[in-house]
Amino acid sequence: MARTNISHDESKIASEALRTLIPGWVLAAVAGSIAMFILWLFNREMPLAQTLVLVGYDVTISFGAYLINRAGRPMFAGHFFVTGVVLLCAAITLIFGGFTGSMAVVYLLPILLAGIVIGIRSAFVTAGLVTLVYLAMIQVELSGFLASYRIEANQVITIVAFVLFFFLTAFLSWYAASRLHLAFRKVSDYAAELQTSNEKLQASEEELRAANEELEASNEELRATEEELRASNEELAAANEELKDAQEKVVRTEKLAAIGQLAGGVGHELRNPLGAIKNAVYYIRGKLEKSELAQKEPRVMEFLGIADEEITSSNKIISDLLNFSRVGKPATSPARIETVINDAIAHTVIQENIAVNKTLPGDLPEIQIDTDLIRQVLVNLFTNAVQAMPEGGSLTVGAHRNGEFMEVAVADSGTGIKPENMKRLFDPLFTTKAKGIGLGLAVCKSIIDRHKGRIEVTSQIGKGTIFSIKLPLINA
């Protein structure tokens, strides 16, 4: 696996080096040919034809190496290119000055190219190849094929110096290439570690994303559970309200049953004795009114008056009980509501510090009612309004047609009704007064219900209360 990675790295280095070197190499060859042509213009003995042949050869091997590298075989392209450059250098040496000439230095080029393009070991191999070609070219040159030269001592020293310089160049190329290769390996290892860390980071990110998705799913489940709990709480609250209403209805029913039994069993039994007592008080008052005892003891007549008032109050309670316990239809007949209102005001005790305001249009239609019962309702409402204004105020009563109903409104400027008492206002036996048993408004509602009407109330603390009675018209 490690060897495969090294081979892959070497191939990558060779490919990159060839892509970089070949264009520059070709441009240098073309620039050299242009310079040679310029020199030839001034010196026609310059070997222009040979130079152009060498440039064409150089371009050819460069183009061939480029195509081989493009085909995906960079190592073969590197060997091909270096070998071609070795042969090119041999030809340059033969043409320009021989093995001891100044152009012999070009043999260094393929050694450097081999170390950079092919690899570390190839620099030494190429140095050996260059040495063989160099020595061979010496033999060619000394054979007289191109020119006859004699080997002198300084030439031998030059030859040895060149060979040593070849291997020195190979060593330097090896050292530079090895350091470069080591740096590349470190970079590759670092890149691999970085890739591994990146993969681990991506895996951790995926795990975090999965955990986040699970957390989101859990949150959704919790939200759904919370919604279900909220819905269950609302249902329980609604059921609790229904249960409370049902309980209140049961309690109200029990109260009504108790009141009915009380009214039926006791009402008639109490009314007759109270009637006899009232007659007796009336008779005694009549006898004592002008007697000497009344003049000597005036409090006797006062106590008889108190007894008469209490008998009247007791009779009213009994009447309320009997009216509340009645379930039959009222004895209705056509009547004018303004007449009933005026009659109710006349039957109500109203203090002088209370102003009575009436709004009764003259074109009100007749309605089908039990005048005695409706008068009793209005008397109860008027009495409550007067009791709500102990310091005085205004009592306003009005009537008008409201669609299919005749609406009668009774308003006072009294103390008002507390909000917590509004729901229980028409419950039997509920009262906030020191005196009374809490049947007045319950009787009013019972009478209005038996007339198939409605009674409603609105109130503000410190501003007053308005009772609205809606009774169906005759033609409704």
Which amino acid is residue 85, in one-letter code? V
Whether residue 101 lies inside any domain: the answer is yes
Q: Where residue 146 falls among pLDDT bands split at 50, 70, 90? A: low
Write out pLDDT tens, residues 238-282.
Answer: 888 888 877 876 776 666 666 666 666 666 566 667 777 777 777
Q: In this predicted structure, what is the pLDDT of residue 140?
A: 76
Where is pLDDT greater, at 460 or 310?
A: 460
Per the CB < 8 A criterion, the answer to whether 106 and 93 are in contact is yes
Residue 145 covered by a domain:
yes
pLDDT for 145:
59
Task: Out of 109-113, 167-171, 336-340, 457-461, pick the least confident.
Answer: 167-171
pLDDT computed for residue 152 by the predictor: 44
Cα dihedral value 441, 443, 447, 453, nearest 10: 30
Give the C-alpha separation, 265 to 12, whole Å.
119
Report the range of poorest mean pLDDT among 145-159, 170-184, 231-245. 145-159
Residue 327 predicted with pLDDT over 60: no
Between 141 and 82, residue with greater pLDDT: 82
In this prediction, residue 292 carries a pLDDT of 72
Percent of the chain with pLDDT strictly greater than 70: 76
Which residue, of 120, 151, 182, is where some domain finishes?
Answer: 151
Q: How confident is the model at residue 164 (pLDDT cuts 50, 70, 90)?
A: very low
Does 382 or 25 have the greater pLDDT score?
A: 382
Comparing C-alpha atoms, which of 58, 184, 181, 66 is closest to residue 109?
58
> Tell me, what's the pLDDT at 268?
59
* DSSP 8-class letter at 405: E
Say if residue 402's pLDDT is above 60. yes
Name the residue among 78, 76, 68, 84 with its Cα closest to residue 177.
Answer: 78
* 2 pLDDT more than 50: no
Average pLDDT, stretch 61-76? 86
| Look-up of token digits 């306003």 | 396
Inform me whether the pLDDT recorded for 184 exceeds 90: no
How many domains does the structure of the chain reveal?
2
Distance CA 187, CA 33 (A): 40
Look at residues 151, 176, 191 and tell me which one is the last residue of a structural domain.
151
Residue 411 has pLDDT above 90, yes or no: yes
Among 262-266, 330-334, 467-471, the minimum mean pLDDT is found in: 262-266
pLDDT higher than 80, residue 209: yes
Q: Which residue has the higher pLDDT, 176 or 426?
A: 426
pLDDT > 90: what percent of the chain?
A: 9
Answering whether pTM is above 0.85, one says no
pLDDT at 160 over 50: no
Residue for token pair 């609302």: 234
Range of the domain at 99: 2-151
* Confidence band for 104, pLDDT divided at 50, 70 and 90: confident
pLDDT over 90 (residue 412): yes
Question: Cα dihedral angle (56, 61, 64, 66), rounded to 10 degrees?
Answer: -100
Lowest mean pLDDT, pick from 69-83, 232-246, 294-308: 294-308
Q: What whole-number distance in Å separates Cα of residue 154 and Cα of residue 157?
A: 5
Q: Is residue 419 part of a domain?
A: yes
Check residue 149 and give its pLDDT.
35
Contact criterion met (CB below 8 Å) for 358 and 383:
no
pLDDT computed for residue 398 by the predictor: 92
CA distance 129 to 123: 10
In angstroms, the CA 406 to CA 466 distance is: 16
Domain stop point among 151, 180, 210: 151
Does the structure show a pLDDT above 70 at 50? yes
| Domain containing residue 428: CATH number | 3.30.565.10
Mean pLDDT of the chain: 77
Is residue 296 one of the residues assigned to a domain? no
The pLDDT score that the predictor gives to residue 150 is 39
- The pLDDT assigned to 471 comes to 92
Q: How confident is the model at residue 397 (pLDDT cuts 50, 70, 90)?
A: very high
Q: Is residue 47 part of a domain?
A: yes
Q: Residue 61: which of 85, 29, 92 has the closest Cα? A: 85
Residue 9 pLDDT level (bands cut at 50, 70, 90): low
pLDDT band at 151 (very low <50, low <70, confident <90, very high): very low
Residue 57 domain-assigned (yes or no): yes
Asked whether the predicted pLDDT for residue 467 surpasses 80, the reply is yes
- Helix/strand/coil for 311: helix
Judged against a pLDDT cut of 90, whether residue 408 lies above it is answered with: yes
Q: Which helix (H) or strand (E) is 402 found in, with range? A: strand 393-402
Specify the pLDDT at position 378.
Answer: 92
Is residue 250 assigned to a domain? no
- Does a structural domain hold residue 181? no
More confident: 211 or 96: 211
